[in-house]
Each structure stands twice: as C-alpha cells, then as structure tokens.
Amino acid sequence: MTGKTLYDKLWDAHVVREEDDGTALLYIDRHLVHEVTSPQAFEGLRMAKRDVWRKESIVAVPDHNVPTTTADRGNGSAGISDPIAKLQIDTLDKNCAEFGINEFHMDDIRQGIVHVIGPEQGATLPGMTVVCGDSHTSTHGAFGALAHGIGTSEVEHVMATGCLIQKKMKNMLVSVDGKVGPGVTAKDIVLAIIGQIGTAGGTGYAIEFAGEAIQDLSMEGRMTVCNMAIEAGARAGMIAVDDKTIEYVKNRPYAPTGEIWDKAVKAWRDLKSDDDAAFDEIVRIHAGSIEPQVTWGTSPEMVRSVNDKVPDPADESDPVKAKAISDALDYMGLEAGQPINEVTIDKVFIGSCTNSRIEDMRQAAAVVKGQKVADNVKLAMVVPGSGLVKKQAEDEGLDMIFKEAGFEWREPGCSMCLAMNADRLEPGERCASTSNRNFEGRQGQGGRTHLVGPAMAAAAAVKGHFVDVRSV
C-alpha cells in the first residue's frame, strides 16, 4: 500500500461523513472572520434563526477596511471618515457581540491582517483545518494545516454547522530543490513557481511545497509561499511540520501548554508526506536558478527576473496568449523588450498578508538603512501586518530607519493591497508592491502594480526604479 501525502492525512482526520460521489462533510477546527465577507453570512443566520455551531472556533478581526493613518485610528471606528466602511466595521463588532464571538477590535494591539494574526496568536495550529472568507487563507498551510479560502455562503455554512462541504482535491508536489542564492527570498521563490506553472496550474489541487529551499525558509518565509498558492490556482498550499514550525507555535496565546502541549507535539511530528506517498502531479524547480522576480503584467504569472526584459507579444505563437500580453503591456504602459530594471516607479507599498511580518520589515529595513527614498517616488509606505508586528519593529528601531529614509510608517491593515480604504494608486501610477495581486485596478482604478519581495521594493524605493537588490 502506498503512503499518504500530508494533504491525505489532514483530509482523512477531518472527514465527518462522505457520500458515494466523494462529497464530504469536512470538520473545521478554526474559522477566521473579517468584516468584508461576513455580514451577509451573519444576516443569513439571523434570517434562518440559526446559532453559531461552536463559538470558540471563531476568531474575528477587522482588517480590509480599516484606515492606516494614526490620526484616523485614535478613536476606534469613530475615526473612519467613509461612512459605508465604518458601517461595515461596526456591523462586525455588533455581529460578534450578538453571537458571542471573540473579536480583536480595531484599537486592540492584537488587531491586524487576519492571516498575520492567526499564526501570531497561535490560533492557527499544525494539523488544523482552517477556513476564512478570504482566498489567502492558504497562508496558514505553512503550519502543516489544511487551510482554504471560502465564499460567504460557505462562511455561513461553517458558522451554522462546524463543517464545510468539500470534495477531495488532487495532490500536487512542488519541490524547490537545492539552495537559493544570497538575496533571493521566499517571495521570489513563489513568484518563480507561479511563473512556471501558471495562475491556473494548481486549479483542483492542494499543493505541498517541499525541497531544501522550502525547508531552509523561516516560518515567515513559508507563510509568504503558501499565501500565494491561490495565485497558482490552488485553494490550499501546505508545508510539512518540522522543528521550526513547533518552535514558532510554542508559547503563543492560543497554543496548548503542559501535558497537552507534549501530546500535541507528538501528533504534529507525523504531519508530513510519507516517503512512498503518491502525488498526481510533481513539479521540480532548481532553487539555484531563481533570481529576484518582478511582475510586468496584470496577472501574477506575468513575471520575470529583474534582469530580464518585458516580453514581446510577437514572440508568442498562441494568439490568445499574445493578445493577453499586448493587453497587459497597454494597461501597464510598458514597451515590449524594455529592460525591467529601467522601469521607474511612483509609489512603493510594503505590506499585505504576503509580506508584512517582522522578517519582511527587517529585510526591507536592511536595504533602506542610511538611504533616502528617490525624488521621483511620491509615496513610500510600510504597513505592518499587525499591532504586535508594529510594536516589535518599533522595539528594534526599524520604524526610525524607514521614517528617516522618507517612508510613511502606518497602522496595521490590508491598506493598499486592495485599496478599499484611502490608501490607493491614482490612474496611471506605477507601484512596487509586496502584495500578491497585480490585477487591473487592484490597487486603485488605472493603477499599475508590480509585485516584488520586500527587499526589492525597498531597493526600488531608494533608486526610483526596479533594480537587482543584490547589486545595491
């Protein structure tokens, strides 16, 4: 008999019942909730006179809509100038109070982006099933957990039943073999993976990331990689548990202690694919060949090395793809064949659930230290992922490094990653961004987003154009 993959193990441990056609009820251990995708779910519960199945499974936090300037954050939600956004945040508070759900309010130091605070609080543990009405829930897979994004109807379903209706996905292994070169980060690894398999390459699969380069990553780096599994089309990405995982979880507020901790650790040690596990698809990537990456188009798969050129649609034989390239170049205001490191930028955004953890702050600060933001850059901002990340960075003096260089140092939230609040690009503005989506209009209508890692964003800020961070 062949062994099991990590995904197989997580799946098997959570199936409550399974129909003949494979449709299963999957038990959910942790449900993370934010203000944008939950109001209609709570409303649904109320209309059907249903209660929440297991209140302790839920942790709620406002993140998408919260303002990030200190001035707007003084007074809870009262400081929010947009009345519709304010109503949404107040609605979350009201719903959580009514249903007895634990929420980290806007003025709580533990508030932050839902995918940053879950792991930070130990609310995400190895072996869990984790869901959230947000596609980047894949982030939590870094802990050897089965974590997927769900829609609002599913949010309501999980609230009401403790379960999700799911069919088992296929298994894909993405192995990043060997070591990456100096200056190449988790973000470069995941962008290179997406560049290779495409944004639909993982559709229908749960991806396990493995290989020496993945094992070498810190937990922060692993979260960056799993975060973007969804950009490769996979609802869930995951990484096996090892000492680093267990070390990270230890002593976090929601983590077990004493005897139960010992018992848990013993169980967690098995959260890896068996040596003889069978995958439906295996992708291998040589870590040594990965260079710092920059996206040039309007889909995360439109990515190249910073030392490369913008592609030419004339070189593409498939007419549908050639059209996609020329549409993207039009939107991005780029010329075919233009060297990427000559592209100048208007704004820099360091933040989002992909790259707003303490290690990201440190990587960016190391590049910025003693430098100034270039004159052509209108705004460079750093938005820590949570109140606790912010505090830690301030304790380390990183905020001063950014501020002295001319960066704005903001309060935690999603901010310019999706521009639901005041932080956004104006039409035509070009941004070096550490977020995860470069879709048309993602960071503001007509805005042009280039996805990069935090050190690359910092380097672009000080040079005013993209540049290989290894040469700065």
Map the footprint of other proteins across residues 172-211, applying CB under 8 A.
199-200, 203-204
Of 21 and 275, nearer to other proteins (C-beta) is: 21
Residues 6 or more apart whose CB falls under 8 angstroms from that of 326 comprise 313
Question: Does residue 465 interact with other proteins by CB under 8 A?
Answer: no
| DSSP alpha helix (H) spans, 369-453 | 387-395, 398-405
Question: Does position 324 bind other proteins by CB under 8 A?
Answer: yes
Least distance between ligand SF4 and beta carbon 139 (Å): 8
Q: C-beta of 12: minimal distance to ligand SF4 in Å? A: 29
- The listed partner (other proteins, ligand SF4, none) that binds 251, CB under 5 to 8 Å by sort, is none
- 146 contact, one of ligand SF4, other proteins, none, CB 5-8 Å limit per kind: none
Using the minimum distance from each CB to ligand SF4, give the nearer residue, 68 or 435.
435
Name which position in 9, 115, 157, 187 contacts other proteins (CB under 8 A): 157
418 lies in the binding site for ligand SF4 (CB under 6 A): yes
Burial of 253 (0-12, 13-18, 19+ CB in 10 A): exposed
Name the token pair of 11: 């799946």
CB of 443 to other proteins, least distance (A): 10
What is the full DSSP assignment across 14-29?
HEEEE-TTSEEEEE-S
Which residues fall within 8 angstroms of residue 442, CB to CB, at 6 or more apart?
418, 419, 435, 449
Enumerate residues 6+ apart whose C-beta is below 8 A from 158. 28, 31, 53, 131, 150, 164
**Residue span binding ligand SF4 (CB under 6 A) among the ranges 101-109, 197-205, 298-306, 410-418:** 410-418
Write out the binding residues for other proteins, residues 43-72 only, by CB under 8 A.
43, 48, 50, 53-54, 56, 64-65
- Give DSSP secondary structure letters for 37-53: TSHHHHHHHHHTT---S
Between 26 and 377, name the residue whose CB sits nearer to other proteins: 26
Does residue 202 contact residue 173 with C-beta atoms inside 8 Å? no
Output 446 or 464, the one with its CB closest to other proteins. 446
The residue among 305 and 449 lying less far from ligand SF4, judged by its C-beta, is 449
192 binds ligand SF4 (CB under 6 A): no
Q: Per CB under 8 A, does 17 bind other proteins?
A: yes
Instruction: Choose one: 74-82, 292-300, 396-404, 412-420; the region binding ligand SF4 (CB under 6 A).
Output: 412-420
Residues 28, 41, 52, 113: which binds ligand SF4 (CB under 6 A)?
A: 113
Rounded to an integer, what distance in angstroms lies between the CA atom of residue 187 and that of residue 294? Answer: 10
Residue with tokens 């870094």: 142
Helix or strand (DSSP H, E) at 188: helix 186-197
Enter the tokens of residue 200: 């639909």
Least distance in Å: CB of 121 to ligand SF4?
A: 16
